Amino acid sequence: MKALQIAEAGVVRVADVEKPVLKSGEILLSIKYVGFCGSDLNTYRGNNPMVKMPVIPGHEVGAVIEEIGEGVPEGFHKGMAVTVNPYTNCGKCASCRNGRVNACEHNETLGVQRNGSMQEYLVLPWNKVIPANGLSAKECALIEPMSVGFHAVSRGQVTDIDTVAVIGCGMIGLGAIVRASLRGASVIAIDLDDEKLELAKRLGARYVINSKTEDTVKKIKEITDGYMADVVIEAVGSPATYVTAIDAVSFTGKVVCIGYAKSDVSFQTKYFVQKELDIRGSRNAMPEDFRAVIQYLKNSNCPKEELISAIVKPEEAGDALKKWSENPGKVFRILVEF
């Protein structure tokens, strides 16, 4: 069967690999669409230390059920549109013991620590297959990245009396904006790109700040009458935005970190103490986050098509990654269609 591989930094190829064999307790998926995410872009650039190449990328999946193995419980049927939970959990580490399986110490995400879903067929244990009745396979490919943003809002314990600043309006940041807005919070969206900020407004942001042309911290101070943001969600992963998050959060506020900074970050740590901050990581997503995104996409007027920057065939994926690498600020999601 056909599979897409990142062979080495900057080199993408279509390979012929064996079709997976269905076993008891598993489901065979016919892959329809898979989204490229930031980790795939880092792999393409040769900057992902967790990946051993060549690797089949992809963990943002839209698929339909092709075949169901023995021992799979009721509720699944052939032709059903589904997405997948692309993470593993060992069941034994501290995270798993505490019920936070999304942060398993030994997690292996599809397309990162193990081969991913950019292939014609994929076999997974039934409990990693998530039905999405009412959504198309293409829409299913948007669920996982939005769920990561939804999870960050849960980590921030956002309520309707909070002002939430979201730094970065990519797919994950937009997910955080949507979820915080659904919880009744007043949301401030921050990005370098006016088009992304305009979409953030339509998805629930009350205020927008272009950090390229405006002083982010000063603007947040004006918006909040000097109190600053109760919760700041960092969804970029750069030293500058990490520092901005600490500067922009209120006394006794929360900073939720999603993005990985690629280099060391220097902080004035006195703010950690003076503000008595809660600084929290947010990793992956929980099953309830997936369910919440599915409900949102089914029951809202979300402009789903505008979240898809391009749809390409596997043979075109290398060129798409090259263009994205050259101009990363203009892309929400690139979907590879099988």
Two structure tokens written together for 58:
């992809």
Spell out the domain ranges in the chain. 2-141+303-337, 149-281
User: Please, are residues 38 and 236 in contact by the beta-carbon 8 Å criterion?
Assistant: no
The string of pLDDT tens digits covering residues 26-39 is 999 999 999 999 89
Nearest CA-CA partner of 99 in 89, 107, 109, 87? 89
Range 74-89 burial, b when 16+ CB lie within 10 A, else e: eeeeeebbbbbbbbbb
Would you state the pLDDT for residue 330? 78
Number of neighbouring beta carbons within 10 Å of residue 214: 13
Fold of domain 149-281: Rossmann fold (3.40.50)
Quote the percentage of the chain above a pLDDT of 70: 100
Average pLDDT over residues 58-64: 98
- Between the CA of residue 311 and those of 32, 38, 138, 278, 335, what are the distances in Å? 11, 16, 10, 40, 5
Q: Which residues on adjacent β-strands are paired with residue 29? A: 65, 122
The string of pLDDT tens digits covering residues 239-282 is 999 999 999 999 999 999 999 888 899 998 999 999 999 999 99
CATH of 2-141+303-337 among 3.40.50.150, 1.20.140.10, 3.90.180.10, 3.40.50.1000: 3.90.180.10
User: Please, are residues 336 and 56 in contact by the beta-carbon 8 Å criterion?
Assistant: no
> What's the rounded Cα separation, in Å, for the pair 230 and 250?
5
